[in-house]
Structure 1
Amino acid sequence: MNKPSSSKASAPGLRRVALASALCCAGLAQAQTGSSVTLYGLADVGITSVSGLKAGTVTQVASGIMEGSRWGIKGTEDLGGGYKAIFMLESRVELDTGANSSTPISGGQLADRYSDAKLLGLPPVFAAPPAPTMQGVLDQLVPKLAGQIYGVNVGAYGNRMFDRQSFVGLITPVGAVLAGRMYTPAFETNAMFDIMETQSGLAAGQLVSFPAILEIRQSNAIAYRIAKDGMAGSLYYALGDRGETANNDSRMIAFNASYKANGFAVGLGYNASKNEAGQDALKSTVLGASMTTGPHKVSGMAIRVTEDNPANMGDIGAAVLGATGSSALAGLIQGAYTEALKQDGRLYHVGYRYTTGPHTVSVAYNTFNDKRPANADVKSYGSAYSYALSKRTDLNAVLVRFDNSDRAQAAPGGNGYLGGVTASAGTDSTGLALGIRHRF
């Protein structure tokens, strides 16, 4: 997990000055060389109501009903001879608060299998009576641990200004080379064959937002991309985020390939990452296919995920040590979470979309088969409707149902936020969201 970066009170002002200077320089470059720079963004906000939470049914304003709100700067320069230089800087923004990070609707609550000492396999008491019960210790630690655990999926990753994307690249006649912070190949394949294109609480990935079965983005990455005659592919290597700890050996190798022709598409994506100790960690394989005929589109996808050595478990141990001062307790709890956060599962998705004029209707069914001892199987189904007021603005409605097995506890969120967890293991949840989206 990334630590929040410190900043002085004048930082926002400095950022505005830096941004204005960048745009000014970009304008001069455009006038002198014919390059182009675009300021763009997406604003998506609405009202969401989610049932089955510890607080009952929670209704609130949320940013990112269909897509995460963002703004960015992108540019290109034609170098001649089939060569172009490109760049992109993209930052998230939460329209409901104006911040650049969010928390799950359920707050800092963890699922029972991560907050119940018995389910975690911890002893009833630490040391010997009359020592505090292990559950009592966990109850005090869970709010702190929730920040550590959810931190990989929530917020702006240490308050980075351009958290969503930040890269520069060179397009050549034989492909493009990019470097920076970018989407991973397996996630791109997932977005291609999810009928919702990762949008809304009906998207397949919403079932498994924690622990996440896909790395969405990676920092310090290099990618080679090519597209020709319906074929497309990428090779991707992330060197690890060494800025946080000196011994961080986290890396990722990944690739994807796809083929499109006559309305048919098929694709494969693969991510393989290592944790900070250099051990094999999260591995995700995505296989998908789709067929489009006139206004109709049908899509199917399967994702296999394994994770034998979860990353950043040392952060949990450090949090326990800081709160209790006991290295033995820190090691015990860190070991329990290391086992609990291992992954082995299969996600399956099938969806259908119909578009006519300004109307778009989508339906989808998703199911996750959890092969861990926890056996936290969960499935979702529902529909989404969009009405295009113009090419840039649309109204959206999403209704989705999450059915949780005995140990599952997922609640629906949206593209820009997590629903979190339901009141208890096995409790189902329904999400209704109404929103407006504008692109600029």
Structure 2
Amino acid sequence: MNKKLIALALAALPAAAMADVTIYGSIRAGIEDNKTYSSTFGTNAQGNPQSGVQINDWTSRIGFKGSEDVGNGLKAIWQVESRLHMDGTGSDNLATRDTFVGLAGDWGKVRLGRLSNYANSDMEQVDPGYYSGESVGGLGMFTRLDTRHNNAIRYDSPNFYGFSYAALYAADETRANVNGTRTNAQLINLGLSYENAGYFAKYNFENRGDANKVGAGLKDWHRLEAGYNANNIYVALGYQQVRGYLGQALDSKNNVTGFADSTGVVYNVAALNTAFASSASTFDVTQVVKTKELALTGGYTFGAFTPYLSYAKGYDATAGSKTISNSGYDQFVLGLDYAVSKRTEVYTSYGHVNWKASGVASENSFGLGLIHNF
């Protein structure tokens, strides 16, 4: 991101225009020891992940937002939020995160732009920690579908006796021609919430149209989270079911080349290869692949310390009416947050994933980092 250009642009704005502009963000980085399939260390000759020390960014960001009273109970609202990489990797371009313009009033708010789905913006209570994309020090597999969508419009309702809801629509601006048929892979996302006296319950649904025509992609996804967060007690339970299409044929060794939910994989492709190898020929790659997962997190705050313990379970996936034996996983994460001040935290965690597939190595991560919010 060109920081000098941003500074010049802000300096050029008149004082009145700057009056309602808020600059905010979060700087997060840590040292990690990762032994995972997704780390840059790759795998050894036996196909098992190799370990090593990394200095990684933990999803830092910077944002600019503001509003203007336009009368009749309406406000114009806007936001430009961008990803930052404290470790010097990645592309720090403008507007890579939630970026929008919209209107807000007593009736709620409507926004247009690049917008989070409901799970990404309003859920993830089962995954409160900080970690990199190469780490298993958090429940990143459970929350893998939490993302943002381009070309989106989203409505958020006002709170009514603890209840609220949201609806997002993302247009398909490509409309590809597949086998002589023009597809429409539009996306619909719905969210429902109830919060009262520390108790909460949230539901997310997402559907991608025409996934069957392209033979890949998310078909539908349900997630439910519920729990309690008050009086120093933190408990969150989550359950989700994802259906998508395999999308790619197996290679010459019957290895899975990609499960297709919206991120391209349903768990970890390397871990599923062994589970598929002995019986892959019995599965039709055009059939629906379904996964079910459960997650539970508990924590308790005493003084400046908050320890967390998380557990996630991935059940055996299914393809059509057939079960893919030993394709699930078990994950444990132990985390500790220390609040240095109101805006600065020290966070550490250890995570371990055990894959059910025979011959597939487990994964583990240890991280220690610093977070500062502004």
TM-score range, shorter chain: 0.7 to 0.9
Equivalent residue, structure 1, for 2:171 = 239
TM-superposed CA distance for 1:392, in Å, is 1.3
User: Are residue 40 (structure 1) and residue 2 (structure 2) matched?
Assistant: no
SS in 2 for 1:186: helix
Residue 60 of structure 1 is aligned with which of 44, 54, 57? 54
Residue 235 of structure 2 is aligned with which of 287, 298, 303? 298
**Paired letter, 2:313:** T
The answer (yes or no) to whether the contact 2:175–2:185 under 8 Å persists in 1 is: no
Q: Return the alpha-carbon distance in structure 2 between the equivalents of residues 340 and 401 of structure 1.
A: 33
TM-superposed CA distance for 1:163, in Å, is 1.3
User: Are residue 379 (structure 1) and residue 316 (structure 2) matched?
Assistant: no
TM-superposed CA distance for 1:266, in Å, is 0.9
Equivalent residue, structure 1, for 2:349 = 398
Give the structure with the larger helix fraction. 1
Equivalent residue, structure 2, for 1:197 = 128
Residue 244 of structure 2 is aligned with which of 284, 307, 320? 307
TM-superposed CA distance for 1:375, in Å, is 4.4
**Shift in CA distance, 390/41, structure 1 to aligned 2, threshold 3 Å:** same
The answer (yes or no) to whether the contact 1:189–1:268 under 8 Å persists in 2 is: no
SS in 1 for 2:157: strand
Equivalent residue, structure 1, for 2:187 = 252
Q: Return the alpha-carbon distance in structure 2 between the equivalents of residues 216 and 344 of structure 1.
A: 20
Q: Kindly report the root-mean-square deviation, in angstroms, between the aligned alpha carbons of the 2 structures.
A: 3.3
The answer (yes or no) to whether the contact 2:247–2:286 under 8 Å persists in 1 is: no
Q: Return the alpha-carbon distance in structure 2 between the equivalents of residues 182 and 245 of structure 1.
A: 26
SS in 2 for 1:163: coil
**Shift in CA distance, 249/436, structure 1 to aligned 2, threshold 3 Å:** same
User: Are residue 163 (structure 1) and residue 96 (structure 2) matched?
Assistant: yes
| Partner deviation per Cα, 1:164-223 (whole Å, 9 max, x = no partner) | 1211111022110011111102334542x31x336434433x2357xx4x2511100001
User: Are residue 50 (structure 1) and residue 47 (structure 2) matched?
Assistant: no
Q: Return the alpha-carbon distance in structure 2 between the equivalents of residues 396 and 377 of structure 1.
A: 29
SS in 2 for 1:370: coil
TM-superposed CA distance for 1:227, in Å, is 2.5
TM-superposed CA distance for 1:251, in Å, is 1.1
Equivalent residue, structure 1, for 2:47 = none
Comparing 91-100 and 168-177, the one that deviates more: 91-100
Q: Return the alpha-carbon distance in structure 2 between the equivalents of residues 266 and 80 of structure 1.
A: 35
Q: Return the alpha-carbon distance in structure 2 between the equivalents of residues 253 and 28 of structure 1.
A: 40
1:252-271 superposed matches below 5 A: 252-271=187-206
**Shift in CA distance, 394/362, structure 1 to aligned 2, threshold 3 Å:** same
The answer (yes or no) to whether the contact 1:303–1:348 under 8 Å persists in 2 is: yes
**Paired letter, 2:54:** Q
Q: Return the alpha-carbon distance in structure 1 between the equivalents of residues 315 and 300 of structure 2.
A: 28
The answer (yes or no) to whether the contact 2:65–2:79 under 8 Å persists in 1 is: yes
The answer (yes or no) to whether the contact 2:142–2:295 under 8 Å persists in 1 is: no
**Shift in CA distance, 342/61, structure 1 to aligned 2, threshold 3 Å:** farther
Give the structure with the larger strand fraction. 2
**Paired letter, 2:106:** P
User: Are residue 77 (structure 1) and residue 9 (structure 2) matched?
Assistant: no
Q: Which runs of 5+ in 2 are unaligned?
A: 38-42, 45-49, 249-256, 259-280, 319-323
**Paired letter, 2:98:** Q
Equivalent residue, structure 2, for 1:172 = 105
The answer (yes or no) to whether the contact 2:155–2:167 under 8 Å persists in 1 is: yes
Comparing 346-355 and 366-375, the one that deviates more: 366-375
User: Are residue 88 (structure 1) and residue 79 (structure 2) matched?
Assistant: yes
Q: Return the alpha-carbon distance in structure 1 between the equivalents of residues 183 and 87 of structure 2.
A: 35
What percentage of residue pairs aligned between the two structures are identical? 22
Q: Return the alpha-carbon distance in structure 2 between the equivalents of residues 364 and 375 of structure 1.
A: 22
The answer (yes or no) to whether the contact 1:231–1:260 under 8 Å persists in 2 is: yes
**Paired letter, 2:80:** L
Q: Return the alpha-carbon distance in structure 2 between the equivalents of residues 199 and 303 of structure 1.
A: 21
Q: Which runs of 5+ in 1 are unaligned?
A: 1-11, 102-159, 318-335, 408-424
Equivalent residue, structure 2, for 1:152 = none
Equivalent residue, structure 2, for 1:325 = none
| Partner deviation per Cα, 1:368-408 (whole Å, 9 max, x = no partner) | 1132336421111121111111111111110111111116x
Q: Return the alpha-carbon distance in structure 1 between the equivalents of residues 9 and 326 of structure 2.
A: 51
TM value normalised by structure 1: 0.65
TM-superposed CA distance for 1:341, in Å, is 10
Q: Return the alpha-carbon distance in structure 1 between the equivalents of residues 22 and 128 of structure 2.
A: 24
TM-superposed CA distance for 1:278, in Å, is 7.1
Comparing 429-438 and 300-309, the one that deviates more: 300-309
**Paired letter, 2:196:** A
TM value normalised by structure 2: 0.75
Equivalent residue, structure 2, for 1:368 = 314
- Equivalent pairs counted in the alignment come to 320
Equivalent residue, structure 2, for 1:30 = 17
User: Larger relative CO (CA 8 A, sep 6+): 1 or 2?
Assistant: 1
